[in-house]
Amino acid sequence: MNTVKPMYGWETINWKKVEYHVFKLQKRIYRASERGDVKAVRRLQRLLTNAMDAKILAVRELIQDNGTEKRAGVDGVNRLRNQEKLDLANCLKLGKKTQTRRQVSIPEPGKEEKPAFGILMMMEKAKQGLVKLALEPEWEAKFDRNSYGFRPGRSAQDAIAAIFNGIKEDHKYVLDAHIEKCCEGIYHQKLLAKLNTYPRLRRPIKAWLKSGVMDGKELFPTETDTPQGGLMPLLANIALDGLESLLEDTFKGGVANCQNGKATVVRYADDLVVLDEELAVILTAQETIEAWLGEMGLKLKDSNTRITHTFTEHNGNLGWDFLGYNIRQYPTSKKRSLATGNTEQKIGCQTIIKPSKEAIKRHLQKIDEIIGSHKNSSQEQLINALNPIIRGWSSYYSTVSSKETFGKIDSILFHKLRGWAFFRRNRNQNNTDVISSYWGVNQGIGWKFITPDHKYCLEKHSQTMLKQHVKVKGEKSPFDGDYVYWSERLLNYPGATNAIEV
């Protein structure tokens, strides 16, 4: 298993071989957890955390792959040289002692408040990555089917596809909820009891939870939050796991005065959606969820929690926004309407999912900032700054009804670029000269924002191909060993991501 020796250099590591060896152990952990063999799970996790392959993979994922881990902890270190990376991997050993975290306020898109995060030291981040490699396959075999946030092989598009499948055949009431301070209010003892792992993994996790944070030169104890790092999303998912099965058990016998008595639950991290045809089921589900969250020290955020309807107005609400998408049903003719279930009755509407107004506003603000900061830059530099933003945002919304939105944004972007071009024009240039300098309309290639040498061209949102996203199957996981399914899925969705700033 230890294919990498200390004498080898970081540049000579055979990463394909390292990843294969780690995945092989993770697959065995997943299968053992799936069949309930706790003894085998613990034995394989010990083997994985002691393996050199897993240690260097944890360091690589921290240093090279994870762009959000560039902030330094108390040690002030955020970059390592190649030899230092190998030294860090050789020194990785899970122990009880841990260092304090540095508190940092990080703004979130679309929110005025800046939540505080505890940033760990480089060594502690690498240890968390190692623990995650061992814990993730165990819990992937246990997680709810409709949980999609921060899980391998799953993305926001899968959550949206699950919602579409839940409402495409009928009108439904919706509980749109957000869990308040999901990573800051979790009771440590409840989380550790639910984790139920062996002492070698339990001790460092408990130490990270209790390590405290440094705000300036002051040390504050931590009693209810989880540390910022690669392990935090996994711990939050573990704490929230069981909501779907809870509601399934609650409504197994139905609800009084309701014909349906079955709710559909979709969760992405701390965002939660419950769907049902009956309002009474939604109200009962909200009470059940609040009581269950209270046992973990959590609660629903009042300002972000509401009950709405997909087709008709309810309490002033119609449709809702989720993960940057707007979801709603619109009236339509019988010819375009789907049938209700297996009957011939038409529902009289169609479900349309498109980018939300807030997501469009944030995207245009981002474009404004880039154009404003490049007033004195060359056209090439402006194009290179805008293209990744346009490409990423368009790709995120390429699985829904975004054609009209893409066209409108391209029109707005043209006027912004036109203002940028006119700001830079010389005294002797008229409007036609300016347009000819930056666009190819007079060169027979259309309204393309392109450099005179044709090497750099601005991409348009409307150039993105729209393609329906196929939701990941039920309880499928990359650790289940189904190579045919996952190879085909990665071929069709190579750029699938878990989260994106929208």
Which of 37, 35, 55, 46 is CA-nearest to residue 198?
Answer: 46
Instruction: Answer yes or no: is pLDDT of 124 > 70.
Output: yes
Tell me phi and psi for residue 299, to 5 degrees.
-155, 165
Q: Could you name the CATH architecture of 158-180+218-333+346-354?
A: 2-Layer Sandwich (3.30)
Instruction: Answer yes or no: is pLDDT of 116 > 70.
Output: no
Residue owning tokens 């919602």: 163
Q: What pLDDT shows up at residue 446? A: 86
Taking the C-alpha atoms of residue 105 and residue 215, their distance in angstroms, rounded to an integer, is 10
Strands 213-215, 218-220: parallel, antiparallel or unpaired by DSSP?
antiparallel
Work out the angle at residue 42's Cα, subtended by the Cα atoms of residues 38 and 43, and round it to the nearest 5 degrees: 115
User: Which residues fall within 8 angstroms of residue 78, CB to CB, at 6 or more apart?
Assistant: 69, 70, 71, 72, 122
Instruction: Answer yes or no: is pLDDT of 6 > 60.
Output: no
Task: State the DSSP H helix or E strand holding residue 368, giving kind and residue range, or none if neither.
Answer: helix 357-373
In the structure encoding, which two tokens stand for residue 214, read together?
Answer: 């440094």
pLDDT band at 431 (very low <50, low <70, confident <90, very high): confident
Taking the C-alpha atoms of residue 418 and residue 437, their distance in angstroms, rounded to an integer, is 11
Instruction: Answer yes or no: is pLDDT of 451 > 80.
Output: yes
Torsion angle (degrees, nearest 10) of CA 290, 177, 192, 24: 140
Query: What does the domain layout of the chain look like in residue ranges?
Result: 158-180+218-333+346-354, 357-461
In the structure encoding, which two tokens stand for residue 485, read together?
Answer: 């399914």
Give 2 or 94, the one with higher predicted confidence.
94
User: Which residues fall within 8 angstroms of residue 193, CB to CB, at 6 or more apart?
Assistant: none
pLDDT band at 261 (very low <50, low <70, confident <90, very high): low
Taking the C-alpha atoms of residue 285 and residue 174, their distance in angstroms, rounded to an integer, is 11
At residue 351, the 3 state secondary structure works out as strand
By CB atoms closer than 10 A (0-12, 13-18, 19+), residue 456 is middle
Q: What pLDDT shows up at residue 72? A: 47
Report the mean per-residue pLDDT for the chain: 82
By CB atoms closer than 10 A (0-12, 13-18, 19+), residue 337 is middle
Q: Residue 101 carries which DSSP code?
A: E
Tell me phi and psi for residue 275, to 5 degrees.
-120, 135
